[in-house]
A and B are shown apart, each in its own frame.
Chain A
Amino acid sequence: MSDVVEKTLTALPSLLSLDPQPGSAKLSSTSKLGNLIRGITELTSKHEEEKLIQHELASIKDQVSSPNTSMMKELMVRAIYCESLGYEASFTYIHAIKLAQQGTALEKRVGYLAVSLFLNESHELLLLLVNTVLKDLQSTNLIEVCMALTVVSQMFPKDMIPAILPLVEEKLNHPKEIIRRKAVLALYKFYLIAPNQVQHIHNKFRKALCDKDPGVMTASLHIYLQMIQENPEGYKDLTASFVTILKQVVGGKLPMDFNYHSVPAPWLQIQLLRILALLGKNDQSASAVMYEVLDESLRRAEMNHNITYAILYECVKCIYTIHPKSDLLEKAAKCIGNFVLSPKINLKYLGLKALTYVVQQDPRLALQHQMTIIECLDHSDLIIKRETLELLFRITNAQNVVVIVEKMLEFLRVNTDDYTTIDLVGKVAELAEKYPSDTMSTVFSVGGDMMQPDIPNSFLKLLSEGFDSVEEDRKLRLFAVDSYITLLQKEPGKLPQRFLQVISWVLGEYSHLKDELEPTVVLKLLAKLLDMKHTSSETKSWILMAMTKLCEGGAEVSVVREVSETYSSSMDTVLRQRAHELQYLSQDSELRAKVLLRDNGLRPLEVDSSLSFLDGFVSEALAAGAAPYKPPHQRQEELAQAKALSLEPYGLSLPMSMSSCSITDRQSPTLLSMSSGLSGDSAEISHKGGSTSLKLDGVKRVWGREGYLPQRAAVEEAAQVEVPCTLRSPSQQGDADSSHSQTPTSTPTPTEPDPEKQQLASLFFGLSSQSSVCLMGKPEPTPHRFRRKAKGVTDPTSSSLISTPSNVEKLLCNNLLDSNIASELAVSSAKQITELPQGLKTASSAADEDPDRPKDLCLISHLPAELSELCHSEITPLCTIQSILCAVNSCQYRGDVLIQTPFNHLHQVTHVSAELKKSTQCLSFAHSDVTFPCRPLTVSTEEYGTMWLSFSHDTKQNLTLIGDGQEALTATLNVLKQKLQLHVVEIIGQEGILSCRLLQDQPCLMHCRVHAGTLAVWLRSPVPDLPDCLIYHCQRALQEY
């Protein structure tokens, strides 16, 4: 039959040439559509086509609104034709609906077709169709009912389903099987778009499954496949029925009509096998019922036709999915073999797919077919190649990784499809991460800018965190430096941007490892990169950062100066910032040594995300009259309130003194350069605000890691990295060779020096030497992998202020206060420093004046030693503590920087003062993690309501829920109750209200609502900072939980 088709279709070109020929007589050559098509085929340019279609659409538009309905059918077809060419004919939509509504049966058909082609589920015009569908569903004309069901299953507005659902359900009992069948499919469609609306008719689905007509039963399998996929447990009782059905089908019990190429109902069989696979997965008893029929299917499907292979393939997949049975597995394996070895390329493809699917359970299969796999690797069809690589990816181990990655890279070089490239680059990167080697350079240069951005990031992380062995890390880094230098010396212009970024980072970080390498050489290479035209500004800032790390004074200063001068006036703020950093740091070696530590002096870097080291700075700024920080949501609210009168400009107006701006308006790029110039590379704080596009995940870790885990990798692993693949011990060689002899196809002799075979051997090397023992069971034990060092877990206690301040903190504190270094800072910082004593005075006087407190100053003398270690200059501790106390008392204080963790100290101090008040003398600071001094506040819901309305200060935030489902809210609130001693007033549905008080008389109310998987919390209190403070503690409590 297909031959006939092909013959006729070959004759087409002659038909298409537009000379009048007998063949075209049967086509309605005189019709308008005919003219249109003729016209279009004569055209040569897209532009002309556009003109013609526009003309055509105009003429359709004219005619369509005329009452002459005899033309409607043809007009619709013409409109459909125009639409299929990509031209919009939206004016016809309404006419299509009208036609479906009012036309004769034939016109109705065209109308429905046009509607289903033109509109989509959410189109508003579709609502107009609902009545028509309703009417047609009730029609006595079978064809009209069929048309309505067809259009319903193509698209129907979700909210209107209830309107027609009863009618469609009714059709399940229709005497005609074709109607029943279409009704089942329409219901399936409803199930897909609105599952809850058809829940009540599940037993009708069962009835459809037992329908006397096999066609209806087949249609119902669509539904079951979907439902079983979602919930296999719910349908276990049907396993036996499905098995019986399959048995009958395979046994040829269906009418002959259902045969296709004398295979009984093949599509039905495929569907059933898929369902069985889902049901039998991880279920021994359900699987046991299937074994017999699966065996039968395998046996019966022996005819040499495409469709039998389709059944076989499903059978094999099913056998490998369900609880294994050895003799079936054996047969299935043989089947896979037939697929893989088949000369038919489609079967080969499926064979590879099946192998990929089963290879995790049975790697020996891959071994058996290794020759074929190797052949497939060089297949002319890219799809086959890709599938093979996918298979290889699954069987990669430490021994064969080099060859496999090599193959993948080879493929990447010839591949032109973006999608595949992205996918494959990801895989190579994953392998390279698992089994580190030198392939990443190639990945970067081949993958180019297309790869996912996290790949270079994770590579840098890998490089900086290192593996288990220090020596190996050093070698790897040295190797990277070496190869990158070589690359830069050649033709850096051709390298992708991402790769250049990686290169500059590595050079900045590790080029000092190579002793004989002069920094000047590297700097010059980098400077050359900067000058290249197509280097993006993102890359440029990476390069500048690398230069910052590299310059050590001396000869290279001239290069650096030139560069920093060029870029310090750059229009790009990020670049300008980097250039300034470079400039300052290159001039001051002392500062440089503090900021940029070489990793031989690695010390754990506590990243103080609370920015507590800025406390003094903030309080001082506040004392100097700066506006307190407002969280974004509050700012927005205020803005919204103010909107009626003023438009935006006033929203952010702040005293323009340097000190306040750098804290409160951290988006300001020019000011930012000062603060982040110091911290930019070492702490993450500045990145939040200023540098938008830099991904510095990898960067900050360099200083953050302590020594490596002292576990040594196996010695041969180390050798593996350095000397890939070519060296093999005789015994391993033997193993590899013996594996060859197992292959069914040609076996290479061991002595053959063919490089291809050598490669083959190394490819399966890992499998053959361990296949029987190791790979059969669990994946390889850990020694085969380089164990990633565990990430440093932030100790919850260490984040508090009492922990030793990090270098950065110290540095910043010093910088802000120490006028020696201050000269380097921006001009305005000098002003800030002069303001300091004044600020201090204000702060302390404010404290003094506060009537609520006993002498705060004397409190300081009561502070234990730990607390006085807060900061390191003489003034700061005083200042910090006082101002924080001030902040508590006067409630003026709202710095963003402090709102996160510093409340720790804040309430520590509060605690202290409270204790002092009560004349208890024991101030225990032994544990740094003082709990929030919160007491439950017992109120009724009514009281809560009144209080809520009377409180003026609030904050909103989303918190993570603990647990999921219905209980999440209760669970989360209980945790808060336990940890923070909040009082749960009431829980209503998905909302809950809580209350507490700080010390004696400062209440805070909390309203929680579960929303989109998070807990939306709204806190209110008469005390300004209390909501923010409490929200922080809630967050922490939930995190710790």
Chain B
Amino acid sequence: MIKAILIFNNHGKPRLIRFYQYFAEDMQQQIIRETFHLVSKRDDNVCNFLEGGSLIGGSDYKLIYRHYATLYFVFCVDSSESELGILDLIQVFVETLDKCFENVCELDLIFHMDKVHYILQEVVMGGMVLETNMNEIVAQVEVQNRMEKSEVSVQCQPVAELISG
């Protein structure tokens, strides 16, 4: 299970924080800081896996991260997840963001934090991997976006069409 998904920039500023296991607010901030501390001092040519620090749950937990230019994408998972699988899931997530925002950049994540959350919700639901197919994810998000554009409550019929289309 995925315990937390953290996105922060090279300076440790959180850009998206999603915990799937409850931690108190100050604990969350501490986890973010510690994770950043662990991840940021690693070169780009070392492996993408880290044994979890003592904070988030000990030896059963792993940090799996990718570093894209200014952003770190860190998934904190337990032993029931495959390391390489999660690594590719991060890639899928980032590619999806890229598609949805048309050349995603850090500012997109800042100003459209809510949208990023919606996209993430289609990938990971309650700590479980829901969908790994980028096209599916994008389709789901687009359904919601159209709802936004029309600004009217979408009824069952059109949505069904959208999903099947």
Contact = CB atoms under 8 A, between A and B. Distances in A.
A28 interface: yes
A5 B98 contact: yes
B64 to A, nearest CB: 10
Interface in A417-437: 417-420, 423
B98 A8 contact: yes
Interface string A5-16: 110111111011
A384 B53 contact: no
Contacts of B98: 1, 4-5, 8
Interface stretch (A84-92, A672-680, A949-957): A84-92
B51 interface: yes
A423 B126 contact: no
Q: Which of B16, B111, B135 has the most CB of A within 10 A?
A: B111
Interface string B40-78: 001101111111011000110000000011110000000
Contacts of B42: 381
Main secondary structure of the interface of A (DSSP, over half): helix
A108 to B, nearest CB: 9
A258 B53 contact: no
B135 A257 contact: yes
B70 A141 contact: no
Interface in A111-148: 113, 117, 120-122, 140-143
Contacts of B49: 346, 349, 383
Contacts of A313: 82-84
Given A105-B147, A142-B163, A178-B163, A381 B105 contact: no
Interface in B10-33: 14, 16-18, 20, 22, 25-26, 28-29
A350 B94 CA distance: 23
Interface of A: 1-2, 4-6, 8-13, 15-16, 23-24, 27-28, 31, 33-34, 37, 76-77, 80-81, 83-86, 88, 104-106, 109-110, 113, 117, 120-122, 140-143, 149-150, 153-155, 176, 178, 181-182, 185-186, 188-189, 215, 219, 222, 225, 257-258, 260, 266-267, 270, 274, 306-307, 309-310, 313-314, 345-346, 348-350, 380-381, 383-384, 386, 417-420, 423
A178 B121 CA distance: 13
Contacts of B132: 260, 266-267
B84 A350 contact: yes
B88 A182 contact: no
A188 B68 contact: no
20 contacts: A5-B69, A10-B69, A10-B70, A12-B69, A15-B107, A34-B111, A76-B114, A84-B113, A141-B155, A142-B156, A142-B163, A150-B125, A154-B126, A306-B88, A346-B47, A346-B87, A349-B47, A383-B47, A383-B49, A417-B38
Contacts of B110: 37
A105 B114 contact: no
A417 B89 CA distance: 28
Interface in B140-157: 140, 143-144, 147-148, 151, 153-156
Interface residues of B, number: 77
Contacts of B121: 113, 150
Nearest to B26: A86
Contacts of A420: 51
B79 to A, nearest CB: 10
Interface string B90-120: 0110110010000111111011011001100
Contacts of A2: 68, 91, 94-95
Contacts of B54: 418-419
A1020 to B, nearest CB: 45
Given A9-B68, A109-B118, A182-B125, A27 B111 contact: yes
Contact of B103 (A4, A31, A345, A380): A4
A808 B154 CA distance: 87
A85 B16 CA distance: 10
A153 B128 contact: yes
Nearest to A28: B111
B65 to A, nearest CB: 11
A84 B16 contact: yes
A153 B125 contact: yes
Nearest to A77: B114
A77 B113 contact: yes
A267 B91 CA distance: 14
Would you list the 8 A-B pairs with minimal beta carbon distance, nearest first? A9-B69, A153-B126, A310-B84, A381-B46, A120-B22, A86-B29, A8-B103, A419-B54
Given A185-B125, A381-B47, 9 more contacts: A15-B106, A28-B111, A34-B111, A109-B144, A113-B117, A121-B22, A142-B163, A307-B84, A345-B47
